[in-house]
Amino acid sequence: MSKKPIFYQRFPLARRIEHIIMLLSFGILGLTGLPQRYPLAGISVWFVNLIGGIENLRAVHHVSATVMMLGTAWHIVLAGYKVFVLREKMSMLPSFQDVKDGWQALLHNIGFNKKFPQMGRFTFEEKLEYWAFVWGALVMGLTGFLMWNPITAAKILPGDWIPAAKAAHGGEAVLAVLAIIIWHMYGVHIRSFNKSMWTGKMSEEEMLHEHPIELADIKAGIANRQVKPEVLRKRQRIYYPIAGILTAVMLAGIYGFVNTEETALTTIPPQPPQIQVYVPQTPTPVPTKPPTATPLPATATPEGQAAELAAGPAWDEVAPLIEAKCLTCHATADMTGLAMDTYANTLAGGKNGAVVVPGDSANSVLYIVQAVGGHLGTFTPDELAIVQAWIDAGALETIDPVSGPVWDGNIATVLQEKCSACHGPAAMGGLNLTTYADMINGGQSGTVVILGDGANSLLVAIQQAGGHPGQLTADEISIVQSWIDAGALEK
C-alpha cells in the first residue's frame, strides 16, 4: 500500500489571486505594447485592426497598466503587514548565500560539482525573477509616465527625454517578455511543472527537491511561529493607520499618473470671436465719397505679398522632412488615423480633423504639436521654420502663383456682376469692389481680403453665411476663396 503524499501550504489564496491579476495585466501589456514597438510589422497591423484601431489598443494598454499599478500598491501594503505585524522573515531579500548557490548550481549543471545547492523559502532564481520584475516595473512606470503625459513631462524635463523614454520603454518591454517566455517558462513550467502558484501547496517530495532548508524549518517548527493575539492586535493598531496613509498616497499617485495629461485641444490658441458685420441691405440716401487709395509700401502691395507667398517653400521641400520625421507612425492611416505620405493625405488630415490650415500655421495642429516639443520625430528649429513658412505661404504643392484665378480674369467679372450695385462707385460702407486697388484697401470695417487665407477673409465669410444681396453661388464662392488662398493675384 503506497504512502499518501504529504503537502505543505506555500501560497495562500490571496497571493494566488494577486499572481493571476499580475499575470493577466502583464500579458495584456505585452500583447498591446509590442505592436506599438514594431508598428510596421504585418502581425502588428493585423492585431491593431483586430482590436479596432490604435486608439482602442492604447486604451486597453492604459487600463492594463493601471491594473498593474494597483496590484503593485496592494503588494507593497501586504508585504509591510507580513514584515511588521506577522514578523515574517524578509526571505526575498538577496544575500551573499544566493551568489554562492548560483555558482554551485552552475558548476553542478556543467558537471564540475555533483551536489546541487540546498535552498530555503525562495531560490536564487526566484529572487532574480522577483527583483527583475521590481526593476522592470520602476523603469516601465517612469518611462510610461513620460509617454502617457508628454506635454506635462516637457514642461519639467527637456523634450529629448520623451523619445528616450520611448526607446527605454520599448527595450525593457522586449526584455521582460523574453524573460518570461524563455527563463520563467523553462524554470517553472518545462524543467519541472511547479503548480504551487495555482494550487497553493507543494508535496513533500517537491519541497525536498526545491526548498529542503524550508522543509527542515517546517518540520522543526520554526518556519511559521505564531504571534500572540494581544501582540498581534498591538502591532495592527500601529500598522493600519500607516498602511492607510501609504495607500492614500499611492492611490493619489496612480490617479495623477492617469489624469495629469492635458489634451491637445488645450494647446491650441483660442479662436477669435465671430464678429457680426453690419451690412445694410439698402443704399444710403447720400452716397459717401469714395476713399482715396493710399499708396502701399512695396512689401505690402498685392504683387509684393503674392511674390512673398510664392517665395515660400512648396511641398517638394517639406515632403523630405515629413518623410524623415513623421512616416514611422504616419505612413498609413491604419495605426493613427492620419497618413502623411502624400500631399493630398497631409492636407486631408485624419480622423480628428485637418492638421494643416493653409495660410495659418498658428492654428495648424502639425505646427502646434511640433512647436510644443517632445513629439516623436521632433523637427529641429530650422525644419520647423520651413514647415511654418510653407503653411503660412498657403501650404502649396507647387509654386505656381498664376495657375489659379486672377483678378483680371473671372474674379473682377464675378464681383462686378454681383457686388457693384452696392459696392461700386457709391462704395457702401466705404467699400468699392470695382477696382483691384480699392478692393485690397477694404472699407470702413477694415480689409476684406487676407492674402493667402480665404477662409478668414471677410469677403468669403459674408458670402458663406448666405442671404447677402448679390449672393454668389457656391461655385463662385469657391473660385473667390481659391483666388485668395493663392495670394489674390491681380494678373
List all residues 6 or more positions away from 341 whose beta carbon is below 8 Å from its beta carbon: 323, 327, 330, 331, 332
Shared domain check, 386 and 240: no
CA distance 308 to 279: 32
Shared domain check, 241 and 127: yes
In a domain? residue 136: yes
Instruction: State the DSSP string of 245-282.
Output: HHHHHHHHHHHHHHH-PPPGGGGSPPPPPPP-----SS
Shared domain check, 338 and 234: no
- The pLDDT of residue 267 is 43
Supply 346's cell numbers. Answer: 497631409
Shared domain check, 375 and 235: no
Shared domain check, 216 and 364: no
Shared domain check, 244 and 145: yes
Sequence-ordered alpha helix ranges (H) in 113-228: 124-148, 150-156, 161-178, 196-199, 204-210, 212-220
In a domain? residue 453: no
Q: Which of 371, 392, 413 is the last residue of a domain?
A: 392
Report DSSP state, residue 306: H
Q: Which of 341, 358, 392 is the last residue of a domain?
A: 392
As a residue count, the chain comes to 491
Shared domain check, 251 and 318: no
Shared domain check, 355 and 252: no
User: Cβ(489)–Cβ(306) under 8 Å?
Assistant: yes
Q: Number of structural domains, the chain? A: 2
370: domain range?
313-392
CA distance 243 to 233: 15
Mean pLDDT by 10 residues, the chain (491 residues): 80 92 94 92 93 92 95 94 90 93 93 91 92 93 90 86 92 92 89 89 91 90 82 93 96 91 51 54 48 44 46 82 84 77 86 86 87 81 88 80 67 82 76 83 84 85 81 85 84 74
Q: What share of the chain is helix, strand, coil (3-state, %, to 5)?
A: 60, 0, 35
Shared domain check, 240 and 153: yes
In a domain? residue 273: no
In a domain? residue 408: no
CA distance 5 to 205: 8
In a domain? residue 359: yes
Shared domain check, 251 and 131: yes
In a domain? residue 253: yes
Q: What are all long-range contacts of 339-343, with beta carbons under 8 Å and residues at least 24 apart?
A: 343/315, 343/319, 343/397
Residue 94 C-beta-side C-alpha neighbours within 13 Å = 15
In a domain? residue 122: yes
Nearest to 9 by CA among 215, 185, 191, 187: 215
Nearest to 314 by CA among 350, 268, 347, 337: 347
Coil/strand/helix, residue 201: strand
- Residue 8 pairs in a beta bridge with 202
Shared domain check, 227 and 337: no
CA distance 137 to 65: 10
- The pLDDT of residue 325 is 83
